[in-house]
Amino acid sequence: MSPARSAERAEAAGRIGSPAVRDSAPGSPAIHAIGLRKRYRDTIALEGLSMSVARGEVFGFLGPNGSGKTTAVKLLLGLARPTSGEAMVLGAPAGDRETRRQIGYLPELFRFQSWLTAREVLALHCRLLRLPRLRWPDEVDGALRTVGLAGRGDAKVGTFSKGMQQRLGLGVALLGEPALVILDEPTSALDPVGRHDVRLIIRELRDRGATVFLNTHLLGEAEQVCDRVTILSKGEAVATGTLAELRGRRPSVRLRVTGLPADWWQRLDGFGRRTAEGDWLLVEDLNEGQVPELVAAIVSRGGQIEAVVPQRQSLEERFLELLEET
């Protein structure tokens, strides 16, 4: 990131971080859905989705294309009605008009009035949010800086690339210090720099106490910013939890150890399942946080540790495993 961008970012972080998040029903989950079901004629888009997203959490909503992610978002915003089930958002029924003042939304299909400038689009949303007019300049300038469009505020949206339009959409979602920000595939049109910026913005939102609902099929994205995720497949939630919980298996580690007799590892009791692989030793099924203890035990026996390689199942592996199971 250029120094100018860094300065903009720092300023933007200050903007995002300063005011307290408005909260209409403190204590209630940011999102609470019970048995949400949506059927479009012969197609079931969502099948009994139940989930709870805590306040201040960055929640990943993962799933392959067509798994029902965007349908769920539309139900949460009241853009579509559930066939059955119910959802509460910020303590009010999904779609509640006043609650929408506290929700920032970046749609998957981000399209804005091409005949307005970026600044005018943001001002329009300030107006729709019924923000005090005195706040508009700060809100608009802040949003433009945050999403890296500070120099393009007066350009017509119709002249923007898709990536710039997505940045503008993100800026629109940040207006009015929302308590909940729903981002539907927020990086689909962005380059690597843009993706990095989005991750920073999400972290800044979390730092100021906002809840972020991140709808994505990019597992790397979720892995880097989400506190918890739900994996959706064919309209059903197939797993929910922290990343560590979802990865499922207990920690395993591969170590390259020298300076000990050939069968030394057989006497290493209390450290999971051990398998020798030449100079390498694979230790599986460890307790959480037991790796340093294992290393210390080997060193105390006179072993020299050349390498320690954690053997975690990636989210992607677990994701594919779950999809295969369904």
Instruction: Give least dist CB 48 to other proteins, A.
Output: 19
Residue of 251, 195, 209, 236 lying closest to 323 (CA atoms): 236
**Residue 17 region by backbone torsions, left for phi larger than 0, else alpha for psi between -120 and 50, else beta:** alpha
Q: Is residue 226 a contact residue for other proteins (CB under 8 A)?
A: no
Q: Is residue 111 a contact residue for other proteins (CB under 8 A)?
A: yes
Contact 171, 122 (CB under 8 A): yes
Span interacting with other proteins, options 3-11, 96-104, 279-287, 301-309, rule CB under 8 A:
96-104
Give Cα separations from 39 to 33, 81, 208 (angstroms): 16, 10, 37
Candidates 36, 53, 103, 281: give the one binding other proteins (CB under 8 A).
Answer: 103
Q: Is residue 162 a contact residue for other proteins (CB under 8 A)?
A: no
Span interacting with other proteins, options 48-56, 97-105, 258-266, 277-285, rule CB under 8 A:
97-105
Kindly write out the interface string for residues 33-62 of this chain, putting x where it contacts other proteins by CB under 8 A and - elsewhere: -------x----------------------
Q: Is residue 169 a contact residue for other proteins (CB under 8 A)?
A: yes
250/113 Cα distance (integer angstroms) = 51
Span interacting with other proteins, options 2-10, 20-28, 103-111, 289-297, rule CB under 8 A:
103-111
115/94 Cα distance (integer angstroms) = 32
106 bridge partner residues: 183
Instruction: Give least dist CB 285 to other proteins, A.
Output: 47
Instruction: Give least dist CB 176 to other proteins, A.
Output: 10
Q: Which token pair is 158?
A: 């119709």
Nearer to other proteins, 2 or 115 (CB): 115
DSSP three-state, residue 279 = coil
